[in-house]
Amino acid sequence: MTVTTIIYLVIAAIVFLSVLYNLLTKEERVVDKIACAMILVPLALRLLMIK
């Protein structure tokens, strides 16, 4: 795994945690929560390096 890949994984992790935080604490409308969840799925797979 290259340094660039690790940096991108860190960025993906930050985005994942931010979206999860929004889903759990900020979003009130159901559609916004669903949008958050749909963003989380591919981010989680990429963090686990599953493709």
Q: Which two tokens stand for residue 34?
A: 């669903």
Q: Does 17 bind another protein (CB under 8 A)?
A: no
The number of beta carbons lying within 10 Å of the beta carbon of residue 12 is 15
| Minimum distance of another protein from residue 27's CB (angstroms) | 8
| Minimum distance of another protein from residue 42's CB (angstroms) | 9
Q: How far apart are CA 22 and CA 33, in angstroms?
A: 8
Please tell me the total number of residues recorded for the chain in this structure: 51
Binding residues (CB under 8 A) for another protein: these are 4-5, 8, 23-25, 27-28, 30, 33-34, 36-38, 40-41, 44-46, 48-51
